[in-house]
């Protein structure tokens, strides 16, 4: 049964015409309220992932649960259809179980709070915020076990419950939840920050309704949704053709030796509606790389990509959702069946953005991005410090952003544009480690007219014995280039002992033991290049040699001959470029690098790791 909304004044809202000035004021007030949610969160949370990196996602929705401002799209409609309970003034919902909300949060580490906003007895909106908790119990520190075979191994699962009921706080529930985590101090502070953020936004919504009247406020939100619908309808008609186009990419492995895993999407337009069909995506994994992809979340991904490429002034909201039909096969990697493990869904989540770029750029190559969003590298480090006190770190790393139509990809940047790095000073102050190096990896970005962003090498020196875990991808299948650009370099992780011995470890590894004095070289992938590298200005390549972004040897990928000081030999450069142009095949739209079988054959020599093997079902399909 759907949720029951209890209103003491159930009178419907009057639909009013909104003048442009009022609409603009309300729109910007909502944008500011969303920013205030972020500011409140970062000033109140304790864990580095939320406090320093901003791994949390706000939402302000209308009275029907449709997102007006936010980041990930609204889950509220689907939640209301599934929630067999009541919502009334003074209630606040708390949940973390992905299966209870159709994947609106996609692993149990994301804790979500939802606040219905009432005024004068009527529901006028919702505010919500979710953020990644550093630990929620389970079999490994950080609660994201690579080898988990079900969600029951991944820490506490919270179904939709009322953390506040008619204004009363459920203290016993919180004691039960916090008893499951290794870091109850962080989790309690972070949850309080989520709650405070929602309450701040709710106050702003009520203030707007006080100022303009409830009917004007609600009518304005309706117009913001309608305006977005009109804009997206035009963009879809302009950018999406009726002829189907397909694209596929691969998650390298599951961390347990199997892979790669294919994600495939086909796109076409029927009338004013775009169809996105994931038929052909591999079946779900028996381990934790599954991604329970919420259809509304993917609609928002699609809309954000379209808006950022074609018209960044458009306000992100849920108004266009009826223009997008998302089809995800049951039992696939993107819609696994309960109780499939979900904690490592980050790799598929990142790969979705690369796939969107590959789909949307085929009709308009001039707007095509290369690959490089790809994943969201995680590092965990835990143990006992010199005082015998428990410590644990969860940190998100950055890779190279792909080359783009408008220029080079940023070096060492986040998949999520709002994220920031954890300051090295913070890490060294609160954890027993030193940051020996924090630098870009030269030549790791794919060569192109617009260079792919370089990955980074963050070198940690551990000052206490403990264990580390790494969750990363793009170590086997490289980020592809476009319009003649070259693929980016792949990720790798190296533990170096005090005597200089280096050990290459997997990019998905749990509870790897380290000792005081050990180094970890946490090296991320580079973004793919955009455009013909032989068209890049030689003097720019020379300048990047002096900046440490390109080496003299790497400059040859651009057909540039230069010395260590970045001084370009123009005659030798022109000769090399002429030779390369004469010898190379015609440039294609995509450059994926070697095919899968070639990657398998060369994997250990290039990466120091054995190639992932095909799962049994993949082998059976190949035999058929």
The residue that leads in pLDDT, 531 or 70, is: 531
**Sorting pLDDT into bands at 50, 70 and 90, what band is 375?**
confident
Tens-place pLDDT, residues 519-573: 999 999 999 999 999 999 999 999 999 999 999 999 999 999 999 999 999 999 9
Contacts with 211 (C-beta within 8 Å, 6 or more apart), sequence order: none
3-state secondary structure of 623: helix
Do the beta carbons of residue 427 and residue 393 sit within 8 Å? yes
The per-residue pLDDT for range 165-176, each reduced to its tens digit, is 999 999 999 999
Host H or E run for residue 269: strand 261-270
**Domain residue limits, the chain:** 4-232, 240-293+328-532+587-623
Task: Supply the pLDDT for residue 623.
Answer: 53
pLDDT in tens, 313-358: 777 888 999 999 999 999 999 999 999 999 999 999 989 989 998 9
Task: Tell me the pLDDT tens digit for each residue of 120-131.
Answer: 999 999 999 999
Q: Is the pLDDT of residue 622 over 60?
A: no
Q: Find out whether 450 and 367 touch, Cβ atoms under 8 Å.
A: no
pLDDT of residue 316: 80
Percent of the chain beyond pLDDT 70?
Answer: 97
**Helices 20-44/214-239 angle, 10° precision:** 90
Name the strands in the sheet holding 508-514, side by side, starting at the edge strand that comes first in the sequence: 390-396, 378-384, 466-471, 508-514
Who contacts 357 (Cβ-Cβ below 8 Å, separation ≥6)? 305, 368, 369, 370, 371, 373, 402
Q: What pLDDT is attached to residue 186?
A: 96
**Dihedral angle sign, alpha carbons of residues 368, 369, 370, 376:** negative
Q: How far is CA 222 from CA 65, 299, 375, 453, in A?
A: 12, 19, 35, 40
Cβ atoms within 10 Å, residue 39? 11
When pLDDT is cut at 50, 70 and 90, the band that residue 476 belongs to is very high
Residue 414, pLDDT above cutoff 80: no
Q: What is the predicted pLDDT for the residue at 347?
A: 94
Hey, what are 579's tokens? 């030779």
Mean pLDDT taken over the chain: 93
Dist CA 543 CA 168 (whole Å): 62
Specify the pLDDT at position 77: 81
Phi first, then psi, for residue 273 (nearest 5°) are -105, 135
pLDDT at 309 over 80: no
Rounded-to-integer distance, Cα 378 and Cα 375, Å: 9
Q: 301: pLDDT confidence band, cut at 50, 70 and 90?
A: confident
Q: What is the pLDDT of residue 296?
A: 86
CA-angle at 500, arms to 497 and 505, nearest 5°: 50
Q: In what order do the strands lie in the sheet with 56-61?
A: 67-70, 56-61, 122-132, 110-119, 92-95, 161-165, 168-169
- What residues have CB less than 8 Å from 84, skipping those under 6 apart? 1, 3
Quick one: pLDDT at residue 415?
A: 64
State pTM to two decimals.
Answer: 0.94
Question: pLDDT for 237-252, tens place per residue?
Answer: 888 889 999 999 999 9
| Kind of pairing between the strands at 273-277 and 324-327 | parallel
Yes or no: say if 243 and 268 are a contact pair by the CB < 8 Å rule: yes
Q: Tokens for 308?
A: 């950022």
Model confidence at 457: pLDDT above 60: yes
Tokens of 267: 């796109």
Q: CA 457 to CA 462: how far, in whole Å?
A: 16
Are 263 and 285 in contact by the 8 Å Cβ rule? The answer is no
């Amino acid at each position: 049964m759907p949720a029951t909304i209890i209103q003491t004044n159930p009178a419907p809202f009057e639909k009013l015409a909104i003048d442009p000035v009022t609409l603009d004021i309300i729109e910007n007030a909502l944008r500011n309220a969303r920013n205030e949610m972020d500011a409140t969160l970062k000033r109140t949370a304790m864990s580095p992932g939320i406090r320093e990196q901003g791994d949390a996602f706000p939402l302000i929705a209308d009275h029907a649960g449709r997102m007006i401002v936010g980041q990930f799209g609204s889950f509220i409609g689907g939640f209301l259809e599934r929630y067999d309970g009541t919502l009334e003034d003074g209630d606040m919902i708390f949940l973390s179980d992905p299966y209870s909300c159709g994947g609106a949060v996609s692993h149990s580490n994301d804790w979500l709070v939802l606040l219905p906003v009432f005024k004068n007895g009527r529901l006028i909106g919702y505010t919500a915020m979710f953020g990644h908790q550093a630990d929620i119990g389970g079999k490994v520190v950080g609660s994201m076990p690579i080898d988990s075979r079900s969600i029951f191994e991944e820490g506490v699962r919270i179904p939709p419950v009322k953390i506040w009921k008619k204004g009363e706080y459920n203290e016993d529930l919180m004691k039960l939840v916090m008893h499951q985590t290794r870091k109850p101090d962080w989790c309690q502070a972070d949850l309080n920050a989520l709650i405070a953020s929602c309450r701040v936004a709710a106050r702003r919504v009520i203030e707007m309704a006080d100022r303009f009247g409830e009917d004007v406020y609600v009518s304005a939100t309706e117009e913001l949704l309608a305006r977005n619908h009109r804009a997206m309808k035009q963009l879809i008609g302009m950018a999406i053709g009726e002829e189907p186009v397909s694209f596929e990419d691969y998650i390298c492995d599951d961390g347990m030796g199997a892979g790669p895993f294919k994600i495939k999407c086909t796109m076409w337009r029927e009338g004013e509606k775009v169809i996105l069909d994931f038929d052909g995506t591999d079946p779900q994994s028996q381990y934790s790389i599954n991604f329970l992809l919420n259809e509304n979340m993917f609609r928002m991904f699609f809309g954000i990509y379209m808006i950022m490429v074609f018209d960044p002034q458009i306000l992100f909201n849920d108004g266009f959702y009826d223009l997008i039909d998302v089809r995800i096969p049951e039992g696939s990697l993107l819609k696994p069946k309960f109780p499939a493990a979900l904690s490592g869904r980050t790799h598929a989540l990142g790969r979705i953005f690369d796939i969107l770029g590959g789909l949307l750029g085929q009709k308009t190559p001039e707007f095509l991005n290369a690959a490089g969003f790809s994943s969201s590298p995680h590092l965990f480090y835990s143990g006992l410090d010199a005082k015998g006190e428990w410590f644990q770190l969860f940190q998100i790393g950055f890779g190279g952003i792909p080359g783009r139509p408008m220029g080079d990809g940023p070096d060492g940047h986040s998949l999520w544009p709002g994220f920031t790095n954890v300051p090295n000073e913070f890490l060294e102050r609160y954890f027993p480690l030193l940051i020996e190096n924090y630098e870009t990896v030269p030549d790791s970005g794919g060569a192109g007219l617009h260079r792919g962003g370089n990955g980074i090498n963050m070198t940690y020196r551990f000052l206490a014995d403990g264990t580390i875990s790494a969750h990363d991808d793009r170590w086997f299948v490289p980020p592809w280039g476009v319009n003649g650009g070259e693929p980016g370099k792949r990720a790798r992780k190296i533990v170096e002992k005090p005597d200089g011995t280096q050990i290459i470890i997997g990019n998905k590894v749990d509870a790897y033991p380290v000792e005081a004095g050990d180094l970890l070289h946490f090296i991320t992938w580079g973004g793919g290049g955009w455009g013909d590298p032989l068209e890049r200005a030689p003097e720019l390549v020379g300048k990047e040699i002096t900046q440490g972004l390109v080496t003299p040897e790497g400059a040859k990928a651009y057909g540039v001959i230069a010395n260590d000081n970045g001084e370009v030999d123009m005659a030798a450069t022109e000769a090399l470029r002429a030779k390369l142009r004469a010898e190379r095949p015609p440039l294609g739209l995509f450059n994926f690098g070697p095919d899968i079988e070639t990657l398998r054959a060369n994997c250990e020599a290039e990466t120091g790791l054995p190639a992932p093997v095909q799962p049994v079902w993949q082998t059976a399909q190949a035999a058929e």
